[in-house]
Structure 1
C-alpha cells in the first residue's frame, strides 16, 4: 500500500520566522562543534563550561559546551553569543542564531575562498529551509514513530550527522525538494526505459536472468503494454534492455545528455512504473511501497549532495551483482554469521550499465557527466525480515522529536529492559557481525547510519543486523587473507584494496565517530547512562568478541579498534578547504588531518 504522506515541505513563505531562527540556532551550534572538531576553528576554554572562538574577522562567538568523546564539544544552541566591535569602538555581546552570518564571518579563519563560500552558502541555505519547515510542522512524536514501517521512518530522518550542510542538493529546485526529497514523504512513479544493447549491459547474480528481473518487477499486463510501445516504434523488443530511471533524471539529465540516443530510438521511454516508490535518505535509493516485496532500486541523480555528485559510476553497476554473489558465498559458508548472528546482506542482485557513447571516450571527463544513466536492483528489507520483526536504520536511534525526546530512549522504554542491558544487546547486534567480517576476512563495509539496519523483535529489543550498499563501499585489506577465498576480480579490480589501518578506519569513523559520538550523550541525558559507562560497554563488547576468538589475535592487532589515537578525517574540511567545488574526473580520496583520542582505549 502507498505510504500516507508526511507533512510536505512547504513554500518558504509558509515557514514561521521563529522556526527559521530555531533552525539556524541549531545548525550554528552544529557548525561550531563540527568545525572545531575538524580543527578548522579553535575553541578556547573560557572557564565555567564556556568556550569561545575568535575569528579573523574580529568577531568572537562564545558558548557553553560539554566535552565529549574524540575531543568533540557538544555546543548548547541556546548559549551562543556574538561579540563584535561597533562603530563607536565598544564591544557588544548579543544572542547569536544566524548560521549564514557565521559562515561568512568564518571564511578567512576556515581558510577558504569566496567562490567556495558562495556555493556552500547555497547548500547551507537549502539545509536550513528544510530544517525550518520540519520545525514549523512539528512532526510525529517518537512514540508515534515507533509504529512506522522502515520506509516511512526513513522519511523522518534529518540527514548526515557529521556534515553541517547535509541537505544541499545542488541541482534541485524548491519544487523538486517538495516533490522528491525524503522528508516530503511523497511517493512517486519511476520511469521505465528500453535501451538498445549497443549502449546497455544487464548483469545479474547466478539465479537472476534479465527476463526474471522484469517478470518479478512488472505484471504481465504492464510487460505486454511496454512491449507494444517497442513494436509500435518499429524496433525489435529483444534488442533492448529494460531499466528504470528517476523522473527528475529523465527530465534534467538523460533527455539532455542522451538527446542523440533518444532521437535515434536507442533509448525509448516505455511508461511509468505501476508501483509507487519512496525515496530514502540518499534520495537516489527508492523503496517500492506499492509492492514492498519487490526490489529496492538505486538510480543516479545529477545533483551535488553531501560531498559528491549523486550519480552511479559504471564500474559500480557492472560490479554490483558479482560482489553480491561473492559476499553471499562467503556468508553462506560461515555458520557464525548465518546461524548465530543471522546477519542479512541485502544484495545488489542485478544492474544495467549505460555508458555515454561520446563523453566516455573523452579523457578526464568530469564524473558527473558519466554517471547519468544506470540502475541497480537491491533486496528489500521487507522481503527479508520476519513477519513480526521491525527493521530500522541505525541512524534512527539519533532522532529527537519536537518535544526533545530521543528515539533510542523510546525503544528502550518499549523494551522493558534496563538501559544498559538494552545497549549491550544493541552493541552485540551491531558490532559482532561487523567485527567478525573485519577480523575473520579483512573486509569492511561503509557501516554508516543509512547502510546499517537493526532488526528488532516485537518488544523492540535488537536481534540482528542488516547490511547494504556494497559496491564501492566494500573494501578488502591488501594483506593475504586465506579465508576470503577467490575474490570477484577479473582484469579490473572490483573491490578497493586498502591498508588494514584504513580498513579499520571505516568502522571507527562510521560507527564510533560518526554515530556513537552523538548517541552517547543522548543516552546520558535521557537514559541515565553516563558517557564513560557507554564507552565502557562498547569496549567490553569488543573485548568479549576477542576473547571468544583467540585464534584471530594477530588480526586484532592488525585492525586495532582500541588504539589510543585514531586519524581524523574531516568531511566538512574536505568540502570547504580541500576539494571545494572543482569539477573532477574521479571521486576524490579523503586524507587524514591530525588525530583524535580514542575513548575505547581507556579501561574501566
Structure 2
C-alpha cells in the first residue's frame, strides 16, 4: 500500500465537457426547482414550458411531468431569452447553470451571501461531473462486477440536490485525495485521547480492548503504546481512535491545539490498513482487511445541506441504539428467517468533547462535532458467499453510454423487467414496512443507508440497513411489540407522530428513489410509468394481505393516502436555512402536497 498518499494530478477538462456537465445540471436544476415550486413554468404547448424571472430573463425548455409532481427537463432544449440592444428579446441556447442561478436569485428569494456560497458548491459539483464526462467512466456492465466499496467510487451524488458535491472546506487537492470518485486509498491517522476528554462505548459483547484488537495488529499496538510512553503517558489512560487525515490537519490540530501541546491528545501514527471513502465522504471502508469495521469519522466540511461532523449524542448513543434495535429485530422470525434482513450495527464509538466550546450555550454545532468516531459492521463481514451487495442509490446511476445500472442488472437477471422490478420492490419494501407496521420504528432508508443483496444472477434477494443513530425514529404512541425502550436517548431515538414516521419511508423510497427510477425503467426497459407505480402498489398490498391482523397499523401509517407532503431540499438551502450557523441541525418543513401514485 502507498504510504506517501500522493495527490493525483488535476483531471484535464475540455470546454465541451464543461458545457455538457452544465447542460445536465441545468436540466436537473430546472426539474427540481419546478418540483419544489421555486419556479413556476407556464405551458406553451407540445410539452414546452417557459419561466419568466424577475431579472427580465426567461427560460424555455421541453419537459415531461410524472408521478409525485416530478419534472424532467430535456437538457438539449433549454434556451435563454434576454433583451438585446434594441430592446428586443434574443433567445440563445442555454447551458450555464451558474448563470441561471444568478438570473433567478430574486425570483426564488435568495440573497447574495447565500448565492456566493451556493455557486461555490455548484462549481465544485460541476468540476467533478465534467471530469467524469471527459474521461468516460466505467460502463454499467463493468460496474456490475465491482464490490460494494469499489462501486461507491463511481456514483454521482444525491439525485435531488443540484449542488450535490459541494464539499465546502475541501480544496481541489483535497477532492482529488479524499473524495470517493478519486478512488484513492486513504490511510487513517490514529490518536490517543486522555480519558478526561474521551469516552469509549460499545455493545455488551465488545470491550474497548476488543475493538483495538479487531482493528490493529499486535505490532501496531506495541508501536502505538511506545509512542504514548515516549511522552511520559500511560497508554491505558488514553482512549485510542482513528481520525481522518484531513480532519487531523484542518480541525483537530487547530481546535484542540492546547490538548495536543499538553499531551492530552497524542498522535500515534497511521495504521497499516487502507480505506476507500463511501459517498458520504466521512464513512470509510477497509480494503486491506475486509472483515474489519467501517469507520464513520467527522469532517469539518459542508456537504449536502449540513456540516459533516458527528454529534456527541450520536457517538454516545450508537451502541445503545444498536443493542436495542438488533436485539429487538433479530428476534423477529419474519425479518430473521424469511427476509434475512441484515442490520449493520454501529457497535462501538468514541466521544470527545471540547473542553471550552462545549460549555458555551447555543454554540454552533460545527464546532462541537469535530472529533469522535463510530465503528460499524462492514458489508463484507455480513454478506453471503457469492452475494453482491450494492447501495439502493446505485440503481439510479447512468453511465456515459446512457445505460442505466438498474436496466443492466435487470437484463442480466434473465427475468422480465416487470418480474425483476417486483422482486426489487418486495426486497426493499417488505422489511421496511414490517418494521414500521409491527414496531412503529422507521429507519431513514435513503439510497446510501439502504443496500440490496443480489444473487449470482443479479436478482434482488434481501435488504441491508445501516445508520442507527440520527436516522431512526419511533412513534410517540406506545407499541407493545417494542418492549422496554432505552431511556434518555431521545436525541438518538426521537419520538414522532405516525404520519411523520411514515414520511421517512415516503421521502426516501418514493420521492428520493422511485421518482427517478420510474422514468429510467420506461425509457430503457419499456415499463410504463403507470405500470411501474402499479407494481409498487402491489408490493404494499401483498404485505397487507399477508398480515391482515395489522389493519389498524396500515391505517395509522397510511401508505395509500390520496396525497403526501412535499419536502423541498434545494429550497431549504437557498431560501430557508441558507448558510447560517446554527446550534442544532434543523428539520425540513413541507411546502404543499402532491398526489400519491399508490392511492
Per the normalisation by structure 1, the TM-score is 0.97
2:322 aligned residue: 324
Does the CA-based 8 Å contact 1:488-1:494 persist in structure 2? no
1:227 counterpart SS class: helix
**CA distance 1:197–1:423, shift in 2 (3 Å):** same
User: Which residues of 2 match residues 70-81 of structure 1 at below 5 A?
Assistant: 70-81=68-79
Does the 8 Å CA contact 1:300/1:312 hold for their aligned counterparts? yes
Deviation at 1:389, TM superposition (A): 0.2
Q: 1:284 aligns with which of 279, 282, 285?
A: 282
Tell me how far apart the structure 1 counterparts of residues 143 and 282 of structure 2 sit (CA, whole Å).
Answer: 23
What's the C-alpha RMSD, in Å, of the aligned pairs? 1.2
Q: Is the 8 A contact 1:314 1:355 kept in 2?
A: yes
How many Å separate the matches in 2 of 1:448 and 1:328?
A: 20
- Where do 1:99-498 residues align within 5 Å? 99-490=97-488, 493-498=491-496
Extract unaligned runs of 5+ from structure 1.
none
TM superposition shift of 1:53: 1.0
Give the conservation status (yes or no) of the 8 Å contact 1:50–1:64: yes
**Offset at residue 490 of structure 1 (A):** 3.0
How far did residue 597 of structure 1 move? 1.2
**Is the CA contact (8 Å cut-off) linking 1:9 and 1:183 kept in structure 2?**
no
In the alignment, does 2:16 pair up with 1:11?
A: no
Structure 1: how far apart are the matches of 2:23 and 2:302? 25
Deviation, 1:10, is: 5.4
Match of 2:23 among 15, 19, 25: 25
* 1:28-50 Cα distance to aligned partner (Å, 9 max, x none): 00100001100110011110011
Distance 1:410 1:582 in 2: 43
TM-superposition CA deviations, 1:417-438 (whole Å, max 9, x none): 0000000000000010000001
How far is 1:9 from its partner? 7.3
Q: Report the alpha carbon displacement of residue 592 of structure 1 after superposing the two structures with TM.
A: 0.9
Task: Output the CA distance in 2 between the equivalents of 1:101 and 1:9.
Answer: 30
Q: Is the 8 A contact 1:9 1:130 kept in 2?
A: no
Deviation at 1:73, TM superposition (A): 1.2
Q: Contact between 2:50 and 2:60, CA under 8 Å: does it hold in 1?
A: yes
- Distance in 2 between the 1:488 and 1:253 partners? 33
CA contact (8 A) 1:57 1:108 kept: yes
Give matches, 1:560-571, under 5 Å.
Answer: 560-571=558-569
Tell me the distance in 2 between the aligned counterparts of 1:566 and 1:492.
26
SS of structure 2 residue aligned to 1:596: strand
Q: Residue 472 of structure 2 contacts residue 492 of structure 2 at CA under 8 Å; is this kept in 1? A: no
Distance (whole Å) between structure 1 residues aligned to residue 233 and residue 64 of structure 2: 67
Cα separation, 1, equivalents of 2:555 and 2:295: 39
CA distance in 1, matches of 2:22, 2:372: 37
Q: Which residue of 2 aligns with 1:56?
A: 54
| Deviation per residue, 1:376-426 (Å, 9 max, x gap) | 000000010001100000001011000001101110111000000000000
2:519 & 2:527 partners in 1: Cα distance? 9
Shift of 1:69: 1.1
Q: Distance in 1 between matches of 2:97 and 2:363?
A: 35
C-alpha distance in structure 1 between counterparts of 2:487 and 2:464, whole Å: 25
Take 2:57 and 2:374, find their aligned partners in 1: how far apart are those partners?
49
1:331 to partner: Cα distance: 1.3
**Distance in 2, Cα, partners of 1:19 & 1:469:** 36
2:555 to 554, 557, 573: 557
Residue 329 of structure 1, CA deviation: 0.8
Listed as ranges, the gaps of 5+ residues in structure 2 are: none
Query: Deviations along 1:437-474, whole A, 9 cap, x unmatched?
Result: 01101111110001000000000000000000110100
CA change 1:491–1:286 in 2 (3 A) is closer
* CA shift digits 1:456-502 (9 cap, x unpaired): 00000000000001101000011111111111223765311111111
Distance 1:9 1:51 in 2: 43
| Residues 317 and 489 in structure 2, CA contact (< 8 A), matched pair in contact too | no
- Kept in 1, the 8 Å contact 2:313–2:491? The answer is no
**How far apart, in 1, do the equivalents of 2:61 and 2:490 lie?**
52
Measured in 1, the distance between the counterparts of 2:8 and 2:565 equals: 38
SS at match of 1:140: coil
* CA drift at 1:567: 0.7
The residue matched to 2:520 in structure 1 has which SS? helix
Mapped to 2, the partners of 1:332 and 1:86 lie a distance apart of: 68
SS of the residue aligned with 1:351? strand
On the 8 A contact 2:398/2:405 being kept in 1, the answer is: yes
How far does residue 138 in structure 1 lie from its aligned partner after superposition? Answer: 0.4
2:574 matched to which residue of 1? 576
Q: What do residues 55-101 of structure 1 show as CA deviations (whole Å, max 9, x unaligned)?
A: 11111111111111111111110111111111211111111100000
SS of residue matched to 2:90 = strand
**Deviation at residue 332 of structure 1 after TM alignment:** 2.1
